[in-house]
Structure 1
Amino acid sequence: MDTPLTVYLTLVTASGSLNFLLGLYAYAKRHELVAARTLVAITILQGIYIFAFAFELSGDNLEVIKRWITVEYIGIAYTPVVGLLLVLQYTSRTPPRAALYLLFLIPTVTLLLVATNDWHHLFYKSVYFRPGAYTPLVDVQYSYWYIVHGAYTFSCLLVGIVLLLKQWRGTKRTYKGQLVALLGGQLIPIVTTFLYVIGKTPYGMDLIPFVLSLTTALYIWAMRSTGLMTISPIAKEHIVESMREGVIVLDLKDRLIDYNAAVRTMFPGQWQIAIGKPMAELWQDLIGLKGPLPGARPNGSEGMQEMKRPDARTGACHYYQVRYSAIRNRSGDTVGKLLMFIDITELKQLQEKLKVQAYYDGLTGIFNRTQFILRARGLLQRHRTRGMAASVVLFDIDCFKEVNDTYGHETGDRVIQHVVSVSRRFVTGDMLLARYGGEEFVLLLPEMELGDAAAYVEGLRASLAAESFQAPDGPLSVTASFGVAALSPDCESIEQLLRHADAALYEAKRAGRNKVSQWRQP
C-alpha cells in the first residue's frame, strides 16, 4: 500500500478510535450530561462511518467495497440529523414528536437506496477503481438521490448553525466556548466537503473521516474546559426558563437585557423588540403595572413590593409580588438588577375569602355579630365625643321556628335572605346592618334620636309585612319585631345599647309581634 494512503488510513483509524473514546467518556458521564444519549449516538454513528471507510480503503474487491459503502451510510445518513438534535437540546427547543420522526425519513430512504443500489442505480450509477497511487481506491458516479441526500445533509447542518448563532446573544460569556465547539462541529464537515467536491483536498482524498477526529476533539476540549452539556451550565438556563416566577434582567441603566418564558406568559407583549430599551419606558405598556419601576429609588438595591394589574380582557385583577435585587460580579461590583415577579393572585383571593369569612355572615353577606360590635364601638365613640345622637335596633323574624318546622331549614334560610334583602334598602351612609344570630338582626342608625329611629324602622317593618315571601306552597307573610334604644348619658356603650334594645324587642313580641318598641328609662 502506498505510503500516503497508509498514513491516511492510520489517521482515519485514529479518528475512529478518538470517537470511540469520546463515546466512552459521554457514557461514563451520563449522569452529569443532559444530552449523554445524543452524544453517545453521534460517536457511534461517526465511528461506524470512519471504520467502515477504513475497511473500504483496505478492500481490493468492488463487491466488498460496495458492502462497506453501505455500512458507511449508516453513519453518513444519520449523523447530521442526530447532530441537529444535539443543537436542539442545547438551545432548549423541543419539536413535536411527529417532526422528530420525519427528520429520520430521508436518511432512512438514503440507506435503503444505497443498500439496494445495484437494482435501480438511483443513488450512484457506478463504482469503479480509480488509477493513481495517491488517491482512494475507488470512485463513485452519483445519481439523482445523492442530490437529495446532499441537500438534506447540508440543510440539517445549516439549521443547526442558524440556531446556534441565534443563541449567541443570549448566552453568557462563560459558556460561549460551548457554542464555538458546537458551531465547529457543524461548520467543519461543511467546509471539508466543499473542498473535497471542488478538488482542493490533498491528493484528492476525502478528508471527512479524518476531520471528524477534529470535531470530536473539539467536543472533548469543550466538555473538559467549559463543561459542554453538563448539568451545571445547562441547568442554569433550564431553571430560569422553567421557573413559574417571571424574571427580568436589567443593566446598570435599567435597560432590559434578558427575560424568561414565565414573564412573557404573565405579561404578553413585544418582548423581543424591547431588548435594550429603558425599562421605565416599558413598565406601563409592557408590564401594565401601576407605580414606578421597583428598586428605582436611590440606594434601593434590593427589596420587595406588591403590585396590582387589571386584566383588560376579563376585568379581573392579578396581584404580583415583585422582588428586586442587585446583580454583582465576583468582585462584588453591581453590574445590573434582577426583577422577579411572583403571581400571588390565588393568595390574595384566599385572603379575601378568609376576610369575608371573618367579617361577614356566610348566608346573607352582611356583617357578622363580632364585626358589627367592633365597628359600632368605634362609631359610637366618635358620636359620643362629638355629642351626636345614635340608635341601635334589634329585630328578629316572627314565628321563625314554625317556618323551619313547616317548610324545612332550606326555606328558613331563604326567608332570612328575604328579610336581609328588604332591610338592605333601608341601609344608607354610615348605617351598619348585621346578623346578630339565628333569625335576629341588628341595625345601627347614626345621628338618629330615639323617636326618629323608631319612625325610620317603622318603614322597614311595614315593607317586610307588605312583601310576602314565595314559599313552596304559595305566598308566605313574613314579619319582624323591633326593639330600639338610643345613646343617653347613662347608656354610652354598645353593649348597654344592645341590652336595652333587646329589652325593647321583648316588649314588642309581648305586645303581639310585628311591632316597633322603644326602650324607655324605667
Structure 2
Amino acid sequence: MANPQLTAYISLVTTSGVLILLLFIYSFVKRKQTPFAYTFMLFTAAQCVYVFGHAFELASNTLEQIKHWTMVEYAGMPFAAALGLIVIMKYIGKTVSTKTGLLMCVIPFISFLMVLTNDYHHLFYKGMYLRADAPSPMADVSIGQWYIVHGAYTFGCLFTATTLLVRRWRSTKKAYRFQLATLIISQLLPMSAAFVYLLGITPYGMDPVPITMCVTASLFIWSIAASRLLTIVPIAKESIFESMREGVIVLDANRRIIDYNHAVKGMVPLLHSGVIGTSMDDVWPRLTGRAFPDDVSVDGLEEEVHWPSADGLSSYQARISLVTNKKGDAIGMLLMLIDVTEQRMLQEQLKKLAYYDGLTGIYNRTQFLVEGRALLEEAGGKPVSLILFDIDHFKQINDTYGHETGDQALKHIVSVCQRFMLPEMPFARYGGEEFVIALPSAKLSEAVRLAEDICKALQQNTLHFKGNAIDVTSSFGVVQQLSDTETLEAILRRADEALYTSKKEGRNRVTAAA
C-alpha cells in the first residue's frame, strides 16, 4: 500500500512542475513583450526537468531507477540556479553577455557530467544506497568532493541573486515592490530549503526544494496577474544613468565630484576615477578658464562652454540644477553636458555662407553693407573713408590661364591686402574682381596712403601658380564721407567714379575723389 505522506509529497512536487510549466508557456507566448523572455524560458525549463525528475525519483522502486532519475534531475537543477541569477541580473538592468552567461553555466555542466559518470570516479557521490527506515524505496547518499563545489556554487548563485534584489528595495518604486518581493522569495525559499536539506533534518532525507517551488511558482503567477511581472519591468536607475547620451556629473553638497556616467568620460578630458572626491571648483577653471558658479546662482544655470579635445575645440551646453531632499534642502547638484559641437560647427558654416565670401574668406557684399552702415552710424562726426579697387585685366587672366588661376589671383590680392589691414577695417569682396575697404576715423589722405601702399605691394608681388609668373595689379578709387548725412551708397558711387578714372588713365594707380 502506498505511503500517504509520500503520495502527498509527490503530488505537491508534481503541482510545482505543472505551475512552472505554465510559466514556461506564458514566457514563450509573451516572448516579444518580455525583455529577457528566452533566459526566463531556459530558467523555467531547467526547473521543470529538475522537479519532474525528482517526482519520478520518488516514485521509483529500485536503486537503479532512482539513479536514473537523479541523472535527469541534474540535467536541470544545477543550471536553474545559474540561470535564475542571470534572470535577476537582467531584471535589475545589468548587461549579461552571451559569453558571460555560458561561463556561468560551466560549473553546472561539469556537475551534470559528474553525476552521469559518477560510477566511474565517485567524485560527486561516494555512495548511494536505499534507506532502511523509509516507508518506500528512497535513496540516501554519501557526498563527494565535487558535490561540495556544486553545492557552494548553487548556494552562491541564490545568495548573490537575493542580495542584488534586497539592495534594490529602497530604490524601487512602490508600484514594483510586489514584483521585487516575489523575486526575492523565489530565491530565498529554495536557498533556505537547500540549507535545511543539507542539515539532514527533513523527513527521510527528502529534498524540500521542489515543494518550495510550488510556492514560488504560485507567487510568480500571482505577480504576473497583479503587476504584469516579466512584461512590465522597471528600468534600473543605474542603467538609465549609464545609457544617457548626455554627460552627467553628480556633485555632493560640498561641490565635490561623487559620480559620473559613461558618456561624460569622452567629453571631459580631465575626468577619470582619480577625480572622485575632487572639488568642481578645482576642475572647472582648468576646463573653461572660469570659476564654477556660486551655489546661489547655480540652479537652472545654462551656458555654453568650450575646451580642447582630440578632434579640436569641443562645445557643450552646460546645465546645472540643485538636488534637494524631501524637505527642500540642497544635498548636491547635477551638471549635465550636452554636446553641441556639430551644431556650433553648422552655425559657423551657415554664418560663413551668410557673411563671408566662400573663395577668399573675407566679407561678402551684403555683410560689408551692414558693417559699413553701422560704421557710419557710430562715426560720431569722425571722418570715414573708403577704398574701392578691382584687378586690372582680370578677364585676360581668366582667358589666358584659366578660371582656377583667376581664383588664385583673387586669393593673392586678399593675401597681400591683409598685410595692411587692421581689425577695425571692414574688408570685403564687393563684386567679381572688385574689393572694398572701409577706414573708420581716417581722412582722405590716410586712405590714399594706404591704397598706394597696397598698389605698390601688388606690383612688387608676382603671382606664381602652376609654373606661371603673373603680374596682378589693381586700380583704386578713394573717397571720404562728405558729411554725416551722406549715405554709404552715395560714398560707394563716388568711389566707383574715382576707380573709373584710375582705369581710364592707364590702370595700376590710385585716384582720390574730389
Normalised by the length of structure 2, the TM-score is: 0.86
What are the residue-to-residue correspondences of 1:292-307 with 2, within 5 Å?
A: 305-307=302-304
Distance across 2 between alignment mates of 1:50 and 1:287: 61
For the structure 1 residues 290 and 193, does the alpha-carbon distance in structure 2 shift closer, same or farther, using more than 3 Å as the test? farther
CA–CA distance in structure 2, aligned partners of residues 133 and 183 of structure 1: 34
* Alpha-carbon separation, structure 2, partners of 1:465 and 1:59: 112
* Deviation of 1:479 (Å): 1.3
Distance of aligned partners of 1:134 and 1:244 in 2 relative to their CA distance in 1, 3 Å threshold: farther
SS at match of 1:151: helix
Q: Which runs of 5+ in 2 are unaligned?
A: none
Q: CA deviation at 1:485?
A: 1.1
Give how far 1:163 is off.
3.6
Q: Deviations over 1:266-297 (max 9, x none)?
A: 554559967xx9x9979948997968779966
Q: Which amino acid aligns with 1:433?
A: F
- Check if 1:375 corresponds to 2:376: no
- Name the CA shift for 1:18/1:489 in 2 (closer, same or farther; >3 Å): closer
Write the letter of the residue equivalent to 2:494: H
Q: Partners of 1:321 and 1:476 in 2: how far apart?
A: 52
Q: 1:402 aligns with which of 396, 399, 406?
A: 396
Residue 45 of structure 1 and its aligned partner are, at CA, apart by: 1.4
Residue 422 in 1 paired to residue 423 in 2? no
Distance in 2, matches of 1:311 and 1:469, equals 37
| Equivalence map 1:43-82=2 (5 Å) | 43-82=44-83
Q: For residue 452 of structure 2, what is the aligned residue in structure 1?
A: 458
Task: Assess, with a 3 A threshold, how the Cα gap between structure 1 residues 287 and 361 changes in structure 2: closer, same or farther.
Answer: closer
Distance in 1 of aligned mates of 2:160 and 2:211:
24
Indicate whether 1:172 and 2:173 are aligned: yes
CA distance in structure 2 between the aligned counterparts of 1:265 and 1:176, rounded to whole angstroms = 36
Distance 1:273 1:251, change over 3 A: closer
Would you say 1:3 and 2:1 are equivalent positions? no
Could you tell me which residue of structure 2 aligns to residue 322 of structure 1?
319
Of 496-505 and 121-130, deviating more is 121-130
In structure 1, what residue type is equivalent to 2:412?
A: H
Determine what percentage of the aligned residue pairs are the same residue.
44
- Segments of 5+ residues of structure 1 without an aligned counterpart are none
Indicate how the Cα distance of structure 1 residues 296 and 175 shifts in structure 2: closer, same or farther if over 3 A, else same: farther
Q: Which residue in 1 is equivalent to 2:346?
A: 350
Aligned 8 A contact 2:82 2:105 in 1: yes
Distance 1:242 1:492, change over 3 A: same
Whether the aligned pair in 1 keeps the contact of 2:257 and 2:280 (CA below 8 Å) is: no
The C-alpha deviation readout for 1:53-77, integer Å capped at 9, x for no partner, is 1111110122222211111011112
Distance 1:72 1:339, change over 3 A: same
Q: Does 1:389 align with 2:383?
A: yes
* Greater mean deviation of Cα atoms: 41-50 or 371-380: 41-50
User: In the alignment, is residue 477 of structure 1 matched against residue 478 of structure 2?
Assistant: no
**Distance in 2 of aligned mates of 1:498 and 1:119:** 106
SS at match of 1:512: coil
**Are the counterparts in 2 of residues 394 and 482 from structure 1 also a CA contact under 8 Å?**
yes
- Secondary structure of 1:78's aligned partner: helix
Q: Residue 229 of structure 2 aligns to which amino acid in structure 1? A: L
Between stretches 21-30 and 53-62, larger displacement belongs to: 21-30
| Corresponding letter in the other structure for 1:48 | V
TM-score normalised per structure 1: 0.84
Aligned counterpart, 1:123: 124
Correspondent of 2:362 among 363, 366, 375: 366
Give distance in 1, aligned partners of 2:332 and 2:174: 15
Aligned residues: 510
CA contact (8 A) 2:93 2:236 kept: no
Cα separation, partners in 2 of 1:95 and 1:315, compared to 1, 3 Å? same
Distance 1:249 1:392, change over 3 A: same
Deviations 1:359-403 (A, max 9, x none): 1111111111110111111111222xx321111111111122222
| Maintained 8 Å contact 1:5/1:136 | no
SS in 2 for 1:231: coil
The one-letter amino acid of 1:452's match is E
Tell me the distance in 2 between the aligned counterparts of 1:263 and 1:206: 51
Provide the secondary structure at the position in 2 that maps to 1:437: coil
Deviation digits for residues 178-205 of structure 1 (CA, Å, limit 9, x no counterpart): 3333333333322222221122334432
1:185-224 matches, within 5 Å, as 185-224=186-225
**Per-residue CA distance 1:72-124 (angstroms, 9 max, x = gap):** 01111211121121022112222343332222233223223322333443432
1:438 maps onto 2:432 in alignment: yes
Select the residue among 300, 305, 308 that pairs with 1:308.
305
Distance 1:248 1:468, change over 3 A: closer
Q: Quick one: distance in 2 between partners of 1:423 and 1:340?
A: 46
Query: Does the 8 Å CA contact 2:320/2:336 hold for their aligned counterparts?
Result: yes
Deviation at 1:429, TM superposition (A): 4.1
SS of residue paired to 2:430? strand
Paired letter, 1:489: S
Deviations 1:146-171 (A, max 9, x none): 23322332333344344435545643
Deviations 1:5-61 (A, max 9, x none): 222222212222221233333334434322222223222211111111111111012
Point out the more displaced range, 439-448 or 156-165: 156-165
